[in-house]
Amino acid sequence: MARQFFVGGNFKMNGTVSSIKEIVQNLNNAQLDPNTEVVVAPPALYLQLVRESLRKEVGVAAQNVYDKPNGAFTGEISVSQLKDSNIHWAILGHSERRTILAETDDIVASKTKYATENGVSVIWCCGESLEQREAGKTLEVIAAQLAALKKQVGDWSKIVIAYEPIWAIGTGKVASTEQAQEVHASIRDWLKKEVNDKVADETRILYGGSVSEKNCKELSKQKDIDGFLVGGASLKPAFVDIINSKL
């Protein structure tokens, strides 16, 4: 089946009320490809501001969510709180949370299970470090991350996978089109072998890692690249060009 192209914008820990209003206004006024699903992830403090002011067809994601319904978990956000605020997406497993905040494959899988089972869709991130790539372990690392997810998740329909080579995030280095397509194809192959054909065919696999308006068109033509998870470029007007890369 044809997979709907998907572009996510991860603002990370960037933005002010004024700059985020400007980003929202730019998206509200832009002509966006109606065939592309778009989701933006502002910092938690601005989730409601964005959801209340952004055109309704653009989704909004939290940059994290916890795997318990409520309770004494200082600084965390629950799935029910997101839904109560009309937020229906979360980004989980981003390399910055895996590396800086020491989130393990199992923690990421547990959060993904809880979110998807309770009505929040997940952009689930995976990727390898420069050392792992240079050691030829890229596919092994990603297979281990996927295996941890498979152990806990039964329903893949609310999961979008984002492949983000850690060495290409915010560095200006981009995996070559061939490198990106090779990893995306191997992820799809893993899904086919380890889950089933339907999940492999239907799951969207995004590329993330210094995506810009300059390289998005070529990347978007690849058979197994179903969109992008964009970092820094999502804060700029050029984000619209990335959303429209299939036009």
Which is catalytic among the residues 37, 128, 164, 184?
164
Q: Rounded to a whole number, what is the distance in angstroms from the first to the last CA of the chain?
A: 20
SS3 string, 44-80, reads: HHHHHHHHHHCCCCCEEEECCCCCCCCCCCCCCCCHH
Q: Supply the Cα-derived Rg of the chain in whole angstroms.
A: 17
Which is catalytic among the residues 37, 88, 94, 184?
94
Q: Which residues contact 54 (CB under 8 A, 6 or more apart)?
A: 24, 27, 28, 40, 60
User: Which residue shows structure tokens 């006024």?
Assistant: 29
The token duo for 215 is 């390289």
Backbone angles phi, psi at 211, to 5 degrees: -70, 135
Is 88 one of the annotated active-site residues of the chain?
no
E strands, 127-241, where?
159-163, 205-207, 227-230
b/e per residue 194-212 (b: at least 16 CB within 10 A): ebeeebbeebbbbbbbbbb
Q: How far apart are CA 169 and CA 121, in angstroms?
A: 23
Neighbours of 178 (CB within 10 A): 9
37 membership: H or E segment, kind and range = strand 36-41
Is 164 one of the annotated active-site residues of the chain?
yes
Active site residues: 94, 164
